[in-house]
């Protein structure tokens, strides 16, 4: 597998109240679960499947998270959080086989990138993230897990099977929706960044294509979901527009 192979991993939905956001997702038919709580930071997730998810994240004390495992990533994201100035979609992660090789490719192409790494349990598990500092803030960062994402997904699937849990009837994330003053141009820019084709205003990112539409302010604003009750969508969830895909 080439280091250029990229797939959607997760979307970050910045919220003010994680519990309230979870209740809104659950009511729409997007089941959530609590994921992490540490001083100053809390998150939860709608697990689309064993590999992809939407993260609901909130920081209520930036000083408290300064010494956490996620401090470097949150430092990089904070300017975008400040611009967002409330709940809404922040950015998304793209899984690649080798984030450091991706960083090298982007540097060679003249991009400004920053690498960070997070490890747990004496480096038994963790991830490397690569942020592109000279791209629009809502453009993705790249991530490589250790163990690899496919192995993590296999373990999750085995756990589900042992609990008799199936994903067959769950809604599926189809696309990320973004506004841009120049949709086709931004689609080409994103396609070049992630190494996926662009067709008109859409980037064919495996796992969740990215659809641009003309408008402002520029940035992510919604998701298209297949399998929702059509009468329940479109819906607004803490600055996120959810559209039912037919």
Note the pLDDT tens digit of each residue in 105-136. Answer: 999 999 999 999 999 876 789 999 999 999 99
Note the pLDDT tens digit of each residue in 187-228. Answer: 999 999 999 999 999 999 999 999 999 999 999 999 999 999
Asked whether residue 198 is assigned to any structural domain, the reply reads yes
Peptide bond into 75 cis (omega under 30): no
Asked whether residue 94 is assigned to any structural domain, the reply reads yes
Supply the pTM of this predicted model: 0.95
What is the domain extent for residue 154? 7-245
Domains in the chain, number: 1
**Is residue 34 scored above 70 in pLDDT?**
yes
185 HSE (CA, 13 A, CB side): 6
Backbone angles phi, psi at 245, to 5 degrees: -90, 130
Asked whether residue 114 is assigned to any structural domain, the reply reads yes
Q: Which run of H or of E encompasses 19?
A: helix 18-28
Rounded CA gap, 107 and 100, in Å?
A: 10
Backbone angles phi, psi at 207, to 5 degrees: 100, -30
pLDDT (0 to 100) of residue 1: 34
Rounded CA gap, 177 and 222, in Å?
A: 5
pLDDT (0 to 100) of residue 2: 42
Backbone angles phi, psi at 70, to 5 degrees: -95, 10
**Range 35-38, long-range pairs (CB < 8 A, 24+ positions):** 38/65, 38/68, 38/70
Asked whether residue 129 is assigned to any structural domain, the reply reads yes
Backbone angles phi, psi at 89, to 5 degrees: -85, 130
Asked whether residue 2 is assigned to any structural domain, the reply reads no
Our measurement of the distance from residue 137's CA atom to the centroid of its chain's CA atoms, rounded to an integer in Å, reads 13
Peptide bond into 87 cis (omega under 30): no
pLDDT (0 to 100) of residue 165: 77
Domain of 78, CATH number, reads 3.10.180.10
Give the Cα-Cα-Cα angle 89, 204, 6 (nearest 5 degrees).
80
Q: Which two tokens stand for residue 50?
A: 């064993």
Asked whether residue 19 is assigned to any structural domain, the reply reads yes
pLDDT (0 to 100) of residue 233: 80
Asked whether residue 113 is assigned to any structural domain, the reply reads yes
**Rg of the chain (C-alpha set):** 17
Asked whether residue 174 is assigned to any structural domain, the reply reads yes
Rounded CA gap, 195 and 101, in Å?
A: 13
């Amino acid at each position: 597998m080439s280091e250029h192979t990229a797939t959607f991993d997760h979307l970050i939905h910045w919220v003010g109240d994680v519990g309230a956001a979870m209740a809104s997702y659950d009511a729409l038919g997007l089941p959530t679960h609590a994921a992490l709580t540490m001083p100053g930071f809390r998150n939860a997730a709608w697990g689309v499947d064993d590999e992809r998810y939407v993260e609901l994240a909130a920081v209520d004390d930036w000083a408290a998270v300064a010494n956490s495992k996620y401090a470097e990533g949150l430092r990089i994201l904070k300017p975008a959080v400040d611009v967002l100035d409330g709940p809404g979609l922040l950015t998304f992660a793209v899984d690649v086989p080798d984030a450091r090789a991706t960083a090298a490719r982007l540097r060679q192409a003249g991009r400004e990138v920053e690498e960070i790494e997070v490890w747990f349990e004496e480096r038994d598990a963790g991830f490397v993230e690569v942020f592109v500092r000279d791209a629009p803030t809502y453009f993705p960062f790249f991530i490589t897990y250790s163990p690899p994402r496919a192995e993590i997904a296999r373990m999750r699937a085995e756990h589900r099977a042992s609990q008799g849990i199936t994903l067959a009837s769950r809604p599926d994330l189809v696309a990320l929706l973004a506004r841009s003053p120049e949709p086709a141009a931004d689609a080409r820019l994103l396609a070049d960044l992630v190494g996926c084709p662009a067709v008109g205003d859409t980037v064919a990112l495996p796992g969740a294509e990215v659809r641009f539409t003309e408008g402002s302010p520029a940035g992510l604003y919604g998701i298209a979901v297949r399998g929702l009750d059509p009468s329940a969508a479109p819906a607004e969830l803490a600055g996120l527009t959810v559209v039912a895909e037919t």
